[in-house]
Amino acid sequence: MEKLEALKISSMRPRSNILDRPLSKGKTEVSQSIVALLFSEIVQYSQSRVFTVPELQTRLHDLGQDVGTRIIDLYFVRERSSKRETKLTQMLLFVKTTVWKNLFGKEAEKLEHANDDERTYYIIEKDPLVNTFISVPKDKGSLNCANFTAGIVEAVLTNCGFPCKVTAHWHKGTTYMVKFEDFVIARDKQMEEK
């Protein structure tokens, strides 16, 4: 009888849908080793369908764009109280902090603006999770699996109204070079004048 009553009480509690929970509450649900295993399988699968390192990096970038599109949609569905950033610097800080924390459990190390080009910014990550558990064969020495993350960042920024191209480079660990369209910079300057 007691078991039946306990069953009734537990079935009466509202169940939390995974899509309704904030992203920040779910980051401890998946272990780093599982993410590493799945990502290494993605790399192996992609590698079996290409012939050169640039093709593999492009494929990883494209897969990252698919993930980035879904991540930003999911973030705004779950975090209903958050506001949409309209200024470029604030959006880049959102990516460096909030997006990075939700994806990798920590912020990216640095955000820098290029001295010679107002359209270019750099997000620097010393030890990207996507490169941590990948051993690169000698014949593919220039491979940077962080192109997957570059695709995520590009999709997040583009889908938030800041069209850009993002590439990953070996410099100070991994540096993501974010190059915005001209009109994004012009729009941001116009907003600062107001």
Positive or negative, the Cα torsion across 130, 155, 189, 177?
positive
Pick from 107, 74, 90, 64: nearest CA to 188: 90
Q: 174: helix, coil or strand?
A: strand
Q: What gap in Å lies between CA 43 and CA 95, rounded to an integer?
A: 24
Where would I find the beta strands (DSSP E) of 51-159? 110-113, 120-125
| pLDDT value of residue 172 | 75
Q: Where are the domains of the chain?
A: 32-193
32-193: CATH superfamily: Trafficking protein particle complex subunit 3 (3.30.1380.20)
- Residue by residue, pLDDT tens for the chain (194 residues) are 555 555 455 555 556 666 666 655 544 566 778 888 888 899 989 989 999 999 999 999 999 999 999 998 888 888 777 777 889 999 999 999 989 988 888 899 999 999 999 999 999 999 888 887 777 767 667 888 899 999 999 999 999 999 999 999 988 789 999 999 999 998 988 888 87
* pTM of the predicted protein model: 0.81
